[in-house]
Chain A
Amino acid sequence: MNVFLLILHGLCAVALLGAISHQTVSAWWPARKAMGFGPSFRAVQGAKFTKAIVILFLITFVLGAIIYPPYRLHGRTYLETMRMWTVNGSFELKEQFLALSLGMLPFYWHVWRQPLDEALTLARKMSSALIFFAVWFGFITGHVVNNVRGIF
Chain B
Amino acid sequence: MLSARLTPIFSAAFAIAYVIAEQNNFALFTYHPRIDEWGFLTQAPRNGPGMYWYGWLGTSIVAAGAVTAASIPFVRTRSVPVVIGWAVPLVIMVLFVYLLRAFFFR
Complex Cα–Cα for A89 and B49 (A): 17
Asked if residues A68 and B53 are in contact (CB atoms below 8 Å), the reply is yes
Per-residue CB contact flags for chain A residues 81-100 toward chain B (1 = under 8 Å, else 0) read 00101101110110111011
A100 and B86 within 8 A (CB): no
Interface residues in B70-102 (C-beta closer than 8 Å to A): 82-83, 85-87, 89-90, 92-93, 96-97, 100, 102
A106 to B92, CA, bound (A): 17
Q: Kindly list chain B residues whose C-beta atoms are within 8 Å of the C-beta of A122.
A: 83
| Bound-state Cα–Cα, A65 to B85, Å | 24
Chain B, range 23-81, C-beta contacts under 8 Å to A:
31, 33-34, 48-49, 51, 53-54, 56-57, 60-61, 64
Q: By the criterion CB–CB under 8 Å, are B60 and A103 in contact?
A: yes
- Does A23 interact with chain B (Cβ within 8 Å)? no
Q: Does A59 contact B (CB under 8 A)?
A: no
Count residues on chain B whose CB falls below 8 Å from chain A CBs. 39
Contacting residue for B103 out of A72, A92, A102, A106, CB 8 A: A92
* Interface pair A104/B53, CB less than 8 Å apart: no
Q: Is A73 an interface residue (CB 8 A)?
A: yes
**A96 contacts B103, CB within 8 Å?**
no
Question: Number of A interface residues, CB 8 Å?
Answer: 37
A127 interfacial contact with B, CB 8 Å: yes
Given contacts A69-B51, A72-B51, A123-B86, contact A100 B93 (CB under 8 A): yes
**Interface residues of A, Cβ cutoff 8 Å to B:** 65, 68-70, 72-73, 76, 83, 85-86, 88-90, 92-93, 95-97, 99-104, 106-107, 109-111, 119-120, 122-123, 126-127, 130, 134
Given A100-B92, A103-B61, A110-B7: 14 more A-B contacts, CB < 8 Å: A68-B53, A73-B34, A76-B49, A88-B103, A92-B100, A96-B18, A99-B53, A99-B56, A99-B60, A103-B89, A104-B14, A110-B3, A130-B89, A134-B93
What is B's interface to A at a CB cutoff of 8 Å? 3-4, 7-8, 10-11, 14-15, 18, 22, 31, 33-34, 48-49, 51, 53-54, 56-57, 60-61, 64, 82-83, 85-87, 89-90, 92-93, 96-97, 100, 102-104, 106
